[in-house]
Amino acid sequence: MAGVHLKGIVKRYGKGDPVLKGIDLDVEESEFMVLVGPSGCGKSTILRVVSGLEEIDSGEIRIGERVVNDAPPRERDIAMVFQNYALYPHLKVYDNIAFGLRVRKTPKEEIDTLVREAAELLNLGSMLDKLPKELSGGERQRVALGRAIVRKPKAFLFDEPLSNLDAKLRVQMRAEISALHQRLKITTLYVTHDQVEAMTMGERITVLESGEIQQTDVPMGLYERPANRFVGTFIGSPPMNILDARLDGGRLAVGECIFSAGVPDELRNRADSRGFLLGIRPEHLEVHDRPEGLRATIDLIEPMGGESNIYLSTGAGRVVATMPGIAVRKRSDEVFLRFDPAAAHFFDSRSGVRLGEGSVPGRSG
């Protein structure tokens, strides 16, 4: 086992913009690192350069102590799990799992022990004699996992391994992969576009956009202190509301509403004339009837069971609020929105960069 360290990785295809524009990333030994971002952000390319399937244009890749920039995949001793499982359709489960060991000329008895061990771990014992096409999606994914773990590699690379599964299986496999990591403690680089997967599985998460790292942090760190507008809206569901805000005589103003509460000092130091963005998570918005705060009209209510998502129109834009329980209100109701400015995030309206240290967890009254 070993850490995976990337320094200034640049990768381009053809003549256009680079796909990776200087990636610095340290995955520590035994760590479960999730790479998350929208499609085309370069997250899969990172996996491919780490695995050696793609070469880099500049930078340095280190696995453990060894710089592997020019090493072919087989010398890097890593294992990869693909989105479409990449099982060999003509080989039985047993042979699929044994494939990598056979390539490495492992003795027969050892292969058998290792394959059965892995199958046991993944609950595949009864399926060893089946062909991939006889298995369900979840089972195939477990075979793919088996193929990865059986070799006891230095690191695991997962490329959106759950996106071909239905929602229920996805939740189950999420837990299984996490549990597997708890047991094996193998350094893992896990790529997904699903922020829920990222939040629930990652020990740390790296958010990518347009070939650049936006932020790397533990899940709650990302949630509570997003480094920029992109991270703020990408992490969390429903996404963070972003409203245009300004300072009015030192007080925070959104739309027609001026809040009595103060704003962080850093903001106050900015020129009053310059606007900025206010980010507020749906659960920090309070919907009530007293004429206090932002006036809003309910557009849509989504009951989720334990809570409800309420979509509203305000003078400053459309927002969504999350309320516990079943909402008693209905469409077109006129309501008011209130929030604790201490729970708000502030971003530069042009660069999207976080302003101030603000944002205290917890609700306000």
Partner 1 sequence: MGSFLRRYAQPYLFIAPAAVVMLLVVLYPFIYNFIIAFSNMSLYHLRNPEFVGLQHFRTIFTEPEIVSVFAKTVIWTVVNVAAHLFLGVGLAILLNQEVKGRGIFRALLILPWAMPQYITALTWRGMFNYQYGAVNLMLRALHLPAVPWQANEYWALAAPIIANIWLGFPFMMIIALGGLQSIPKELYEAAEIDGAGWWFRLRKITLPLLKPVLVPATVLGTIWTFNNLNVIWLVSHYGEPADKTHILVTYVYKAAFHYYRYGYAAAFSVVIFILLLSFVVYFLKATGEKGAAG
- Shorter beta-carbon distance to partner 1: residue 85 or 230: 85
Cβ atoms of 236 and 195 within 8 Å: the answer is yes
Q: How far is the CB of 47 from partner 1 (least distance, A)?
A: 10
Least distance to partner 1 from the beta carbon of 52, Å?
7
Q: 3-state class of 87 per DSSP? A: coil
Residues lying near partner 1 in the complex (CB under 8 A): 51-53, 72-74, 76, 78-80, 82, 84, 86, 88-91, 99-100, 103-104, 133, 147, 151
Smallest gap from residue 126 Cβ to partner 1 (A): 23
Which CB sits closer to partner 1, 161 or 236?
161
According to DSSP, the β-strands at 307-314 and 294-303 are antiparallel
CB of 115 to partner 1, least distance (A): 14
Distance CA 15, CA 109 (A): 50
Pick the closer one to partner 1 by CB: 189 or 257. Answer: 189
- Minimal distance, residue 88 CB to partner 1, in Å: 6
Q: Is 9 within 8 Å of 15 (Cβ atoms)?
A: no
Per DSSP, what are the bridge partners of residue 67? 62
Quote the tokens at residue 60.
């340095």
Instruction: Spell out the residues 6+ positions from residue 342 whose beta carbon is closer than 8 angstroms to its own.
Output: 261, 358, 359, 360, 364
When the beta carbons of 73 and 275 are compared against partner 1, the nearer one is: 73
Q: In terms of CB distance, is 163 or 349 closer to partner 1?
A: 163
Residue 353 φ then ψ, to 5°? -70, 145
Compute the least distance from the CB of residue 74 to partner 1, in Å: 3
Pick 133 or 290: Cβ nearer partner 1: 133
Contact (CB, 8 A) for 215 and 202: no
The number of residues in the chain equals 365
Tell me the three state secondary structure of residue 310: strand
